[in-house]
Amino acid sequence: MSGLSRKKYCLFDQIMHLNRISKPLLVDLLRMFHQRKYFIPHIRFASVRSKPELCKDLNNYFDTRLDGQIIHFLPRRTVRPSVPQIDFDLKQKAFLFDSHPIEIPVLSRQTPQFSISHAPVTLRF
């Protein structure tokens, strides 16, 4: 297999891995990336975008490998230390962050928590 056809095969293989994840879960994952500022520039996550567009954007940031029933997301570039190891369990249909299941749809839709303090504050520059 030539280098070019091997590259096309690998790209096709990676997109096929991402196609096994539902579009709502992909949108929620990208929404969480945006909220936690994992990647700059942000990956556009609008739900009106097609699934192939979302997969292509994710493919720009990650290589994917299938290991049994687990899809591993391997960063293509150096990422911030706060970005966890991301996997997807095809059997449970759930994302794993650092090998722990995480409820992406619930967390990505949480409203940001904030508070207002009326106490004196000193800012130093």
Q: Could you give the angle at the alpha carbon of 84 between the alpha carbons of 80 and 90, nearest 5°?
A: 140
- Of residues 115 and 53, the one with the higher pLDDT is 53
Question: Using CA atoms, how far apart are residues 16 and 67, in angstroms rounded to an integer?
Answer: 14
Determine if the pTM surpasses 0.95. no
Q: Is pLDDT at 6 greater than 50 in this prediction?
A: no
Q: Is pLDDT at 8 greater than 90 in this prediction?
A: no
- Of 84, 72, 85, the C-alpha closest to 21 is 72
CA 3 to chain centroid: 28
pLDDT in tens, 14-61: 668 888 999 989 888 888 888 888 877 667 666 678 888 888 888 888
Q: Which of 44-48, 58-62, 70-74, 115-119 has the lowest mean pLDDT?
A: 44-48
Q: What integer is the mean pLDDT of 57-85? A: 86
β-strand partners of 88: 71, 95
Q: Is pLDDT at 7 greater than 50 in this prediction?
A: no
Q: What integer is the mean pLDDT of 60-69? A: 88
pLDDT in tens, 79-114: 777 788 999 999 999 999 999 998 877 766 667 676
